[in-house]
Amino acid sequence: MILYPALDVLDGRVVRLAKGDFETVTDYGDDPVAVAQQFRAAGADWLHLVDLSGARDGTRRQHDLINIVVDVGLKVQAGGGVRQVKDVISILDAGAQRVVTGSLAVSHPETVIGWLERFGPESITAAFDVRLDETGVAYPVLNGWTQKARITLSELLEAYSQAGLLHALVTDVDRDGMLEGPNQMLYADLIASRSQVHWQASGGVASLSDLAALRMAGLSGVIMGRALFEGRFTLKEALLC
């Protein structure tokens, strides 16, 4: 299981949002490169880099940061504001190993499937933000998590499975940034139904026991954000776990 420390950058500052809300910003300083260097020194191999300015405004703002972080010695999967094929090309050209595409993966799956075919499944991570209904069924959400998609996550994944999707990140939005523990049942269902996909968990990780449980469940990766920044555990401890 790969551990991905998350670096969310908004207007040049390292931040975390609660449930993706831009009105609930927690600021962790103005030096994202120093944070990346700390992650590398602690033993990280990968970084999950999110351009929140790009996600908010629709225009990528942190492109140069990818190249700098790669020079630090980290492999990078980067997203935020990825809306056109030129965004994918520029991120890969900057040295990132994978491009993370979120809302477009739900609203225009045919576009992302085209990218899978063009750039290869190793180069694309489809990110699905979901909310569970009262019966426990996961539905993708859009527009700041205010709009529920008309189809379930399972139905959406049918098309991606046929297209050879290899890397997918799923966030239970009601747990994102809340330190309440990840949705273990959601990930267990995804692994059981589509074991060929390398699933990444995101949202809610609060303890080393959460990481151990996700590893035992068969997750391929875990995104770690607020728990690291608030000292719930260190990255060294997480890697040992």
Indicate which residues carry an active-site annotation.
Answer: 8, 129
CA distance 218 to 220: 6
Q: Is 44 left (phi over 0), alpha (psi -120 to 50) or beta?
A: beta
| Residue whose pair of structure tokens reads 């074991």 in the numeric block | 195
Q: How far is CA 183 from the centre of its chain?
A: 15
Residues 53, 10: contact at Cβ < 8 Å?
yes
Please name the helix (run of DSSP H) or strand (run of DSSP E) that holds residue 116, with its range, or none. Answer: helix 109-119
Alpha carbons 10 and 56: distance in angstroms, whole number: 9
Determine contact, residues 197/190, Cβ cutoff 8 Å: yes
CA dist 30 and 196 (Å) reads 39
The residue type found at 214 is L
Distance CA 9, CA 167 (A): 23
Q: What are phi and psi of 69, to 5 degrees?
A: -65, -40
